[in-house]
Amino acid sequence: MRNKKGWLRIVEAFVAILLIMIVGLVIVQRGKTQEQNVSEKIYEIEADILKEVFAKYTIDEIVDFEKLDDIGDYVDTRAPNTLQCEIQLCDINSNDCDDAINEIPEEYYTQSMPIIEKNQQFKIFCWIR
């Protein structure tokens, strides 16, 4: 067999490229997993805050616009220091609720709780400071 060294170099180059690709994929996958963990954690925090709000306040208090500042202050005390959270009360059929808060950055997390009796939804928006 001629050119054994040539074939050996080709195989070595192929294996080297394959190893580099595998390492790159592992690094990218780790980054995505960490992002998913952060997102899941924020959604859990939002869900917990929503549950606490609905346990602490009555539905009539939640839909009372004069009480929203108090509820917002309560949400601020429940959110960790790494998150900035805002609340919004809007019509259950409206998609304009997200536009109502001016300070929201491009990447934010939101959850809502419908209040069917009042045809409203209570939304919490959180983002990383």
More confident residue, 31 or 127: 127
Percent of the chain whose pLDDT exceeds 70: 89
More confident residue, 97 or 70: 70
Q: Whole-model pTM above 0.75?
A: no
* CATH number, domain with residue 28: 3.30.450
Q: Quote the CA–CA distance of 79 and 77 in Å, as a whole number.
A: 6
Q: Measured on CA atoms in the order 16, 19, 23, 25, is the torsion positive or negative?
A: positive
CB within 8 Å of 90: residues ≥ 6 apart:
96, 97, 100, 120, 121, 123
Angular region, 3: left φ>0, alpha ψ -120 to 50, beta rest = left
Q: What is the mean pLDDT of residues 105-118?
A: 86
Which residue, 70, 64, 106, is CA-closest to 89? Answer: 64
Predicted confidence (pLDDT) at residue 8 exceeds the cutoff of 90: no
> For 38-67, how does the pLDDT look when each residue is reduced to its tens digit (9 = 90+)?
888 999 999 999 999 999 999 888 888 888
pLDDT on residue 89? 86
> For 74-97, how does the pLDDT look when each residue is reduced to its tens digit (9 = 90+)?
999 999 999 999 888 888 887 767
CB 80 within 8 A of CB 23: no
Q: What is the mean pLDDT of residues 115-120?
A: 86
Total number of domains constituting the chain: 1
Pairing of strands 109-115, 83-91: unpaired
pLDDT on residue 35? 67
Domain holding 107, by residue range, is 4-128
Packing angle of the helix pair 68-78, 4-56 (nearest 10 deg): 140
